[in-house]
A and B are shown apart, each in its own frame.
Chain A
Amino acid sequence: MEQNYLLGNEAIAHACVEAGVDFVSGYPGTPSSEVIDTLRLRPERSYYVEWSVNEKVALENALAAAWCGIRALCTMKHVGLNVAADPLMTSAYTGVTGGLVILSADDPFAHSSQNEQDTRCYAHFARIPCFDPASVQEAHDMIRDAFELSEEFHLPVLFRPTTRICHSKGDVQLGDVQKSTRVGEFHKDPRQYVVIPVNTRVLHRKLNEKQPAIRKRLVEKGFNRYEIRGKTAIIASGIGASYVQELLPPGVSFMKIAAYPIDEEWLGDFVQKHEKVLVIEELAPEVEEIVRQVAGCVPVFGKKNGYAPYEGELSPLAVAGIMEKAGFLKNPFPAIEPVQNIPPRPPILCAGCLHRSAFYAIKKVFRDAIYPSDIGCYTLGLQLGAVDTTICMGASITVASGIAHSGEPRDVVCTIGDSTFLHTGIQGLLNAVYNGANMTVIILDNRITAMTGHQPNPNTGQTACGVESPPVSLEALCRACGVSFVEGIDPYDFTGMVHVLQEAKNRKGVKVIIAKQMCVISARRAGVKRGRYTVDPETCNGCGTCVRFGCPAIEFVNEKAQINELCSGCAVCAQLCPAGAIMREAKK
């Protein structure tokens, strides 16, 4: 046993190795990505790891591995579970032999996400167990239990850490790595694995019959527990339970929910022993709804009567506010306002990012156009006025074709990254060509899944474990979908890019332009060195063209442009400067 200061996701990854995981798949997504980023580099135990092309693919792979009797982990972010929802729902019917843990990380407050959906609702919907840890140590300890529970009930188990678990740190007590490995073996059993109607009706009944025993087991195992300390009570789940424990006044009973489904009879006994109950949980009122079902005439305070918010994330301050409003506590935190009028510092595209240059060229050629975009670093193109829509992975191309077919007369130009294109973009392109849309697709190809931490994808030329793999040809893929206009360009060659965009603008049909350049972060790590650029103050006339380009390396001081040390030498600003004042820095 050793003590380590670890990120929640690192602790979870280590727990998987302790639990004897044999198969790992997933698609990167904040806040889940570091689980596989850690697992792909652990030499102490031998197991299979892949970054899959999307979450549906990842889950089907992991499910099949678990059918073969080995322990499988599948990771994704909450919205990835929507992509994997199809296999998820029916995997509850077929069940598993080896343990299958599906980690779906929720992101209350949408720190890095397009919505605030709650994975616990999927567990409820699919009728499978779900773990909801309250701390990094608990997340670590529950992984082993999750695999065991999955094997005991022959069901996939959801594991729902939130951002404040995944990206929290703590001193974690680790266990020993399990050395013995299993070898998969598939036993044919069509009644279990072929879900034709005659089989699936039986499987559905069996799934429902498992439920009461699961509820009992979660209480027996102590995941859901309480302490009676008075006539009023707080019931809390997930990280919310940690915040409540920090503030819990004496004489208030406390129930902690860390796993679902909740045993209603057990819950009802607890609630009935109190005069009023407050429920604290992040996002959906999953616990509160069951509390209300069993509360009878005991007053319940929570989201449904306005005491707690449905949206956003909890914090010690927010929880203290809820407890005060419901009459459980006098808020111990003084009311403090942040200093006003500080200019915001949102994330921005890096200096030298290929996306900035591509967006700038698109805006120059397609002045009055609609710009659907997608999920990735390039969503930050919003700051450049080059992103009009984002909804979910792959939806740039489909939204573009929908707008193009709607009768909207303006040009439609959409942007999508290489990883997102391979995730769920290809089908949209196939559909657009098949149905005769008029639109331009720009694939922003940096050969890596950058935003989530530079995970490789089929376009990179290597697997999760660094083994060489044949890089896919995006050009051939687009041609195979039926696109006749497919052009590759270098976004650092601004003039060349404008020329190709102009050619695409003049044509009908679906046109694809692949803007290829390495991610600047990958380039820096790979040791690529380009000379920095500088502004000649004599030639600079202060027109501000370069500043509007939005590169963080360009500053404007005393009505003149300056280039700071962030410059990566992409040279695009030098091509844009109407005065010709930007040039390569002389070697010192």
Chain B
Amino acid sequence: MSPGFDILIVGIGGQGTILASNVLGEACLIEGRHVKGAETHGMAQRGGSVESHIRIDGEFGPLIAPGQADLLISFDLLEAIRYSHYLKPSGKMVVNRHLVLPTSVYTQKLVAPSEEEIITALKKYELCLLDADKIATDAGSPLSQNVVMLGAASKWMPLKSATLLESVRKLVPKKTVEINTKAFEMGRDAGGKN
């Protein structure tokens, strides 16, 4: 069993989960810690459900087993519920209050749970819910919502907030460093200090 800290980032292909996982990996390097991860590439990235595993202080495999994650960061409400079984009972959850219905709901007439139903179900975990799209837009670009999410989750991570921010600044495109710095800080404020 891993003594480290396991984080699962989930969302929809194209939302920037890979950059978010790179930020965490780079932050581990800055702090001189081992890190392992696994992520979805290939066809599933075309608007499908995607997941990134990040294992801080991980020594062996890159995958987190169900019921073992310390923290789940979800860019979408439906994906949060889909992957919620990965969390430990004491696990924390940071979720973007945004629901993109899969096309299957329209084309195959499947029923998706409502926002309220999802939020009620998620409340059995310690939950931080935020409107990352709005915060990102206020920070200067809706594209920075992945960094907003990291900011909000930073209080629950065993990494220094300053290290995470350094890593964000290193990895985002140069033109967007200021917007993303603001996005991280606004996300951190929205997540609340711990």
Cα distance, A170 to B24, chains bound together (Å): 11
Q: A5-B25, A338-B85, A550-B103 are in contact. Are A315 and B63 (CB under 8 A)?
A: yes
Q: Is the CB of A168 within 8 A of B36?
A: yes
Interface 1/0 per residue, A341-366 and B, CB below 8 Å? 11111111110000000000000000
Q: How many B residues touch A, CB cutoff 8 Å?
A: 58
Interface 1/0 per residue, B1-17 and A, CB below 8 Å? 11000000000110000
Q: Is the CB of A383 within 8 A of B107?
A: yes
Q: A30-B42, A342-B82 are in contact. Are A169 and B21 (CB under 8 A)?
A: yes
Chain B's nearest CB lies how many Å from the CB of A346? 6
Query: Is A115 engaged at the interface, CB distance under 8 Å to the other chain?
Result: no
Query: Is B44 engaged at the interface, CB distance under 8 Å to the other chain?
Result: yes
Q: Is the CB of A452 within 8 A of B42?
A: yes
Q: Is the CB of A347 within 8 A of B44?
A: yes
Query: Is B192 engaged at the interface, CB distance under 8 Å to the other chain?
Result: no
Query: Is B121 engaged at the interface, CB distance under 8 Å to the other chain?
Result: yes
For window 1-55 of A, CB contacts with B under 8 Å fall at 3-5, 30-31, 34
Q: Is the CB of A380 within 8 A of B46?
A: yes
Which B residue's beta carbon lies closest to that of A318? B65
Q: Which chain A residues lie closer than 8 Å to B40 at the CB level? A: 111, 167
Which B residue's beta carbon lies closest to that of A557? B101
Q: Is the CB of B47 within 8 A of A170?
A: no
Name the residue in B25, B33, B111 with the highest tally of chain A Cβ atoms < 10 Å from its Cβ: B25
Binding site for A on B (CB under 8 A): 1-2, 12-13, 21-22, 25-26, 28-29, 33-49, 58-68, 78-79, 81-85, 101-108, 110-113, 121
Instruction: Report which of B12, B29, B79, B103 forms a contact with A3, defined as CB distance below 8 A.
Output: B29
Which A residue's beta carbon lies closest to that of B12? A345
Q: Which chain A residues lie closer than 8 Å to B110 at the CB level? A: 343-344
Cα distance, A316 to B4, chains bound together (Å): 15
Identify the stretch in A117-125, A220-228, A239-247, A440-448 within 8 Å (CB) of chain B at 4 or more residues. A239-247
Q: Is the CB of B107 within 8 A of A377?
A: no
Chain A's nearest CB lies how many Å from the CB of B135? 17
The 3 closest A-B pairs by CB, nearest first: A5-B25, A30-B42, A347-B48
Q: Which chain A residues lie closer than 8 Å to B59 at the CB level? A: 246
Q: Is the CB of B38 within 8 A of A347?
A: no
Chain A's nearest CB lies how many Å from the CB of B34? 6
Identify the stretch in A274-282, A297-305, A328-336, A423-431 within 8 Å (CB) of chain B at 4 or more residues. A328-336
Q: Which chain B residues lie closer than 8 Å to A336 at the CB level? A: 66-67, 85
Q: Which chain A residues lie closer than 8 Å to B66 at the CB level? A: 317, 333, 336, 338
In the assembled complex, 8 residue pairs joining A and B whose CB atoms fall closer than 8 Å, in A order, are A5-B29, A5-B35, A164-B38, A171-B35, A336-B66, A336-B85, A339-B82, A451-B42
Chain B's nearest CB lies how many Å from the CB of A313? 9
Q: Is the CB of A345 within 8 A of B49?
A: yes
Q: Which chain B residues lie closer than 8 Å to A554 at the CB level? A: 106
Name the residue in B12, B28, B106 with the highest tally of chain A Cβ atoms < 10 Å from its Cβ: B106
Query: Is A337 engaged at the interface, CB distance under 8 Å to the other chain?
Result: yes
Q: Is the CB of A31 within 8 A of B21?
A: no
Inter-chain CB contacts under 8 Å: number: 173
Interface 1/0 per residue, A533-554 and B, CB below 8 Å? 0000000000000011011101
Instruction: Report which of A345, A451, A556 forms a contact with B106, defined as CB distance below 8 A.
Output: A556
Name the residue in B83, B103, B110 with the highest tally of chain A Cβ atoms < 10 Å from its Cβ: B103
For window 473-513 of A, CB contacts with B under 8 Å fall at none
Query: Is A320 engaged at the interface, CB distance under 8 Å to the other chain?
Result: yes
- Other A-B pairs, 19, CB within 8 Å; known A243-B61, A347-B44, A380-B46: A111-B42, A135-B36, A242-B61, A246-B1, A315-B63, A316-B63, A320-B65, A334-B67, A336-B67, A343-B102, A344-B102, A345-B79, A345-B82, A346-B49, A346-B102, A349-B46, A379-B43, A383-B107, A451-B43
Cα distance, A170 to B38, chains bound together (Å): 9
Interface 1/0 per residue, A122-164 and B, CB below 8 Å? 0000000000000110000000000000000000000000001
Q: Is the CB of B106 within 8 A of A315?
A: no
Instruction: Report which of A136, A246, A348 forms a contact with B103, defined as CB distance below 8 A.
Output: A348
Cα distance, A383 to B47, chains bound together (Å): 14
Q: Is the CB of B103 within 8 A of A552?
A: yes
Q: Which chain A residues lie closer than 8 Å to B112 at the CB level? A: 342-343
Q: Which chain A residues lie closer than 8 Å to B67 at the CB level? A: 333-334, 336
Query: Is A208 engaged at the interface, CB distance under 8 Å to the other chain?
Result: no
Q: Which chain A residues lie closer than 8 Å to B49 at the CB level? A: 344-346
Instruction: Report which of B41, B107, B108 forms a contact with A30, defined as CB distance below 8 A.
Output: B41
Chain A's nearest CB lies how many Å from the CB of B36? 5
Query: Is A522 engaged at the interface, CB distance under 8 Å to the other chain?
Result: no
Query: Is A555 engaged at the interface, CB distance under 8 Å to the other chain?
Result: yes
Chain B's nearest CB lies how many Å from the CB of A450? 9
Instruction: Report which of B43, B102, B111 forms a contact with A345, defined as CB distance below 8 A.
Output: B102
Q: Is the CB of B60 within 8 A of A169?
A: no
For window 552-572 of A, CB contacts with B under 8 Å fall at 552, 554-556
Name the residue in B26, B41, B44 with the highest tally of chain A Cβ atoms < 10 Å from its Cβ: B41
Chain B's nearest CB lies how many Å from the CB of A303? 20
Q: Is the CB of B43 within 8 A of A112?
A: yes
Instruction: Report which of B2, B13, B29, B78 forms a contact with A246, defined as CB distance below 8 A.
Output: B2
Cα distance, A342 to B112, chains bound together (Å): 6
Cα distance, A96 to B108, chains bound together (Å): 55
Chain B's nearest CB lies how many Å from the CB of A125? 27
Chain B's nearest CB lies how many Å from the CB of A15? 18
Q: Is the CB of B61 within 8 A of A316?
A: yes
Cα distance, A167 to B21, chains bound together (Å): 12
Q: Which chain A residues lie closer than 8 Å to B26 at the CB level? A: 5
Chain A's nearest CB lies how many Å from the CB of B95? 14
Q: Is the CB of B35 within 8 A of A347?
A: no
Q: Is the CB of B44 within 8 A of A111?
A: yes
Q: Which chain B residues lie closer than 8 Å to A171 at the CB level? A: 25, 28-29, 33-35
Cα distance, A550 to B105, chains bound together (Å): 11
Which A residue's beta carbon lies closest to that of B52? A169
Cα distance, A52 to B113, chains bound together (Å): 47
Chain B's nearest CB lies how many Å from the CB of A188? 43
Q: Which chain A residues lie closer than 8 Å to B105 at the CB level? A: 343
Which A residue's beta carbon lies closest to that of B66? A336
Q: Is the CB of A343 within 8 A of B46?
A: no
Q: Is the CB of B41 within 8 A of A31?
A: yes
Q: Which chain A residues lie closer than 8 Å to B33 at the CB level? A: 171
Q: Which chain B residues lie closer than 8 Å to A247 at the CB level? A: 1
Which A residue's beta carbon lies closest to that of B60? A246
Chain B's nearest CB lies how many Å from the CB of A52? 20
Cα distance, A336 to B66, chains bound together (Å): 7
For window 236-274 of A, CB contacts with B under 8 Å fall at 239, 242-243, 245-247
Cα distance, A245 to B79, chains bound together (Å): 31
Q: Is the CB of A169 within 8 A of B78?
A: no
Which B residue's beta carbon lies closest to that of A113? B42
Instruction: Report which of B47, B60, B121 forms a contact with A350, defined as CB distance below 8 A.
Output: B47
Q: Is the CB of B113 within 8 A of A169?
A: no
Q: Which chain B residues lie closer than 8 Å to A333 at the CB level? A: 65-68
Cα distance, A347 to B106, chains bound together (Å): 15
Q: Which chain B residues lie closer than 8 Å to A334 at the CB level? A: 67
Cα distance, A170 to B53, chains bound together (Å): 11
Chain A's nearest CB lies how many Å from the CB of B123? 14
